[in-house]
Structure 1
Amino acid sequence: MVVPIVLGRGERLWDGLEGIEERFTIEATPSPPGVVHMVMNRRL
C-alpha cells in the first residue's frame, strides 16, 4: 500500500500516477518497521 502524502499547502504527491509503470521503472525495497523505499527511474 502507498500512503498518500500531502505536501506544503495540500499538494497530493501520489495523485494522477495511473500508468506510471509505463514511463518509469520502479524498485521497492522494504525496511523495518513497515517502511518501503521506492526508487523511480525514467525509462528511455
Structure 2
Amino acid sequence: MADVQYLRVYVRQLRQKVEKFPDQPQYITTETGVGYRLREPD
C-alpha cells in the first residue's frame, strides 16, 4: 500500500510543475477505478 502513497506524492509534485492551477488539474487527471490520465492541452 506504500507504493500508492508514493504515486500520489509523485503525481502531486508533477502537477505542481505542469499545471497552471494544480488544485484544478487539466492535464493530469484522476480517473476513479483506473488511475491517472495525461491529457493533451486544448
More strand, by proportion: 1
Scaled by the length of structure 2, what TM-score is found? 0.32
More helix, by proportion: 2
Answer with 1 or 2: which has the greater Rg: 1
Looking at both structures, which has the greater relative contact order when contacts are Cα pairs under 8 Å and sequence separation is at least 6?
1
Scaled by the length of structure 1, what TM-score is found? 0.31
